Structure formats: C-alpha cells, structure tokens
Amino acid sequence: MPGDDLLAVNGHKIHDELDFRYWLDGDPLILRIKRLSDVFEIEIEGGLADEPLGVDFEPMRYRCCGNNCIFCFVDQNPDGLRRSLYFKDEDYRLSFLFGNYVTLTNVSQKVLTRIAEQRLSPIYISVHVIDPGRRQQMLGLRKDDRLLQKIEFLAAHKIEMHAQIVLCPGWNDGDYLDETVDALSRYFPYIKTVAVVPVGLTKHRNNLPQLKAVTKHMARKILEWEQKKSEYFSSILHTFFVYLADEFYILADEPIPPAERYDTFDQLENGVGMARNFLDRFHREKKRFPRKINDKRLCVVTGTMASPFLDKDVLPHLIRIPGLEARIIPVENSFYGSTVGVSGLLTGGDIAATLKDCEPCDLVALPPNCTNYDHKFLDDYTIPQLEAEIGTACYQSSDNFLEILRVLEKENNG
C-alpha cells in the first residue's frame, strides 16, 4: 500500500530500489513490511518467473557533493535558476544507473563492498589528478581521500570503471597529467577508458579561483601528447585507453578522428567521439534523403563550437536537395558567456534572440540536448514558448536529419 516501508527481502535489509532489485531472487520471497506502527511479513511463492511485484518506490534521495572543486560548473551558474540546477550530485548509484561521474570522495568501505557485491558496474570516476597534494587543492579536500586504494579495491573485484580528467591549464596538465594517466593504466582492463575534457568556464566566476581556458595552442599540444600516449597504450594494451573530448579537435582546428580511434565509444556521453558518431550516422542517412522538397526553409540551431564542422560536412549535402533552403545558425551563449560553445548549454532566450535577427524559415531544428526531461531549457523556456516568440515551428531532433526532412515533407503533403 502507499506509505508502506519495505524493510527487508529474504532477511536482507533494503536501503533503496537497487537493494530491492538485487535481492529479488528466491522462492519463496519473504518481504518484511512496516505499515504505520505494525511490522509484518508477506510470503510470495513462485518467485518472479511469471510477473513482477508491481512495487513503485518513492524517488531515491541522492547523495550530494561535499567537495569544493575549483572548476565546478554548478558554482558558475548565475542566480535565479530553478533549484535543481544548484544541486551537486555525488552518488555512486547515479554513476551506475546513468553514467554520472563521481569522485568517490564520500564512499566508505561499506559502500565499496556493496558496489562489489551487487556488481554495480560500470562506475564512472572523476579523477582529475592523482597526486594527493594537488588533488586536495583541486577538489577542496581537507585530507587525502585515498582514491587509488578505492580504485584498487574495485579492480580487485572486477568492477569496470571509466575515468575522466577535467583539464585545467596550470593545475593538472604537464607532468601531473602524465602521472595520472600512467597510474590509471595500471588498473587496465578494469579501468577501461580515460577521457580528457577541457575545463568549462562561464562568465559567472566572481569570487572563484582564477582559471585559464584551453587555447588553440594548448589544444594542439594536447593532441600531440595524446597521439604519443595512445600509440604507446595501443602497443601494450591493444586499446587506445586515453581519449580526448571533441572540443580539443575543434579548438585546434583539426579533423575529427575516424571511428576506429574511439574503440567502443565508451565515453560518448562525455563528449568523446560524439562528433564522429554524428557525422558517420549523417553520411549513412544522407543516402535516404528525399530527392526534392517543395520550397521549404530550414534553420539548424547549434552552438558556436559545432557550427564549423556542420557548415563543412552537413550543410553542403542539405543544400543539394532541390527546393530546400538550409542554414546553420550558430547561437552565441550570452547566458553563460562566449567561452561556452556547446549546444547542450544553450538557453531558450539566447536562441530566440538569435532567430529574431535571422531571415524567417519554415522549421527550426533544435539540438537534442538543450532541454531537460521536462522539455525545459536552462532558463525555463519551453519549446512552445520559444515557438510563440519566434513565430516558427520548432522540432527537437535526435541529431537525425532524415527525421527532420521527413517533418518538412509532411508539411508539403499537408
């Protein structure tokens, strides 16, 4: 019944839904329930072979982060946003369920044992640097959090891990970067990949530590470092092991590597190989593009970072379709500042302001990652609100241009 507390399954204490799912093995199942002041047991014969129990849980209460990282993006949010955007999650369960990165600073041996026992694998770890002193400085820790000991425990129990390093020039590059990647490679194959991503800096950094952005010159140096490093790992581990975020290639004005360079694309959601994955999918889809579209104008909204390769690799194929007028519309991020160029951090207000100054079109294609699960932008704009403001229909695709063109075709048929 609503309001019941599930205390145990077959004698195992239940803390959350993960515990519940893990211990649902046995015939019979004995559930210990607390209802108001009564505690009783329910026995279910036959296990779960035929049908689920039909139990719905309240949302989990997530662990929050107690670190004070010098590069934390949440600290760089402006005032006045919805409350959830100021919450710093640091929960190993979210790492397992959704691929969120955690530093493991708040996990105890008890938690590590649970991860190993329940096979909560893979886990995604924000490492940044392994030198204890520099790690304390960067993460705002009072003492050594024994990260490598925790990784060693997880590796000994064959838990798959993926690591990331947020590169902050002058803080964890150079020798620190070499030391960190080399140390992590000793835990291969349990640490399967290491991603290096550039620090994201907004214009809202009042009273925060001074940090430098990754420049074009530094991006090129990182590309040279990564090529040597990955070739070495490839020769001894038979995998590249270390991978760079797409932003480094775009900053350095270098081509996006081929798909083989990303092995199994394990860090795709971290912006590693996302451009290559998109471009390869686009070139497969273009073979099925309509032969013509009757006098339609398409505006493709993107961030300033992606617009150069969309102009080069996507736009020429769109404008070849007779009857289609297509444009790539880069939106400069005035909400966070011009240093933030990714499409996922565009706001409805910035998109609206940009499109108002553009020639009208019949359909606006929005990036797939610029709204949340409630279809709200970071500034709480909704897509209907954006459509009303610009006077044009918007379509939020999954980066699928074949899908977008079919929407235009339907308008033709209508």
Which residue would you say has higher pLDDT here, 407 or 51?
A: 407
Per-residue pLDDT band at 413 (split at 50, 70, 90) = low
How far is CA 290 from its chain centroid?
33
Q: Which CATH number fits domain 74-272: 2.60.40, 3.80.30, 3.30.70, 2.60.120?
A: 3.80.30
Q: May I ask the CATH architecture of the domain 1-61?
A: Roll (2.30)
| Average pLDDT over the chain, rounded to an integer | 93
The pLDDT value given to residue 60? 86
List, for residues 188-201, the tens digit of each pLDDT value: 999 999 999 999 99
Alpha-carbon distance 219 to 5, whole Å?
Answer: 53
The pLDDT value given to residue 233? 97
pLDDT at 153 over 90: yes
3-state SS, residue 31: strand
Domain segments of the chain: what residues?
Answer: 1-61, 74-272, 279-413
Contact 361, 327 (CB under 8 A): yes
Per-residue pLDDT band at 324 (split at 50, 70, 90) = very high
Mean pLDDT, range 179-187, rounded to an integer: 98
Site of tokens 């390093």: 165
The pLDDT value given to residue 398? 65
Which amino acid would we find at residue 414?
G
Mean pLDDT, range 364-378, rounded to an integer: 92
Mean pLDDT, range 148-154, rounded to an integer: 98
List, for residues 64-87, the tens digit of each pLDDT value: 999 999 999 999 999 999 999 999
Alpha-carbon distance 62 to 97, whole Å?
Answer: 12
The pLDDT value given to residue 51? 61
Contact 10, 29 (CB under 8 A): yes
Kind and range of the H or E element at 165? strand 161-167
pTM: 0.90
Contact 310, 278 (CB under 8 A): no
Alpha-carbon distance 412 to 409, whole Å?
Answer: 5
pLDDT at 414 over 60: no
3-state SS, residue 34: strand
Mean pLDDT, range 296-309, rounded to an integer: 93
3-state SS, residue 318: helix
Beta strands in 96-153 (DSSP E): 123-126
Burial of 52 (0-12, 13-18, 19+ CB in 10 A): exposed
List Cα–Cα distances, 378 to 74, 157, 202, 299, 355, in angstroms: 12, 40, 14, 21, 18
Percent of the chain with pLDDT over 90: 82
Per-residue pLDDT band at 59 (split at 50, 70, 90) = confident
Fold of 279-413: Rossmann fold (3.40.50)
* DSSP labels, 331-394: E--TTT-TT---GGG--HHHHHHHHHTSPP-SEEEEPTTSS-TTSB-TTS-BHHHHHHHHTS-E
Alpha-carbon distance 230 to 209, whole Å?
Answer: 32
Mean pLDDT, range 162-182, rounded to an integer: 97
Cis omega (within 30 of 0) for bond into 330? no
Interstrand relation of 161-167 and 191-198 (parallel, antiparallel or unpaired): parallel
Alpha-carbon distance 208 to 71, whole Å?
Answer: 9
Please enumerate in sequence order all residues whose Cβ is within 8 A of that of 287, keeping only pairs 6 or more positions apart, or say none: none
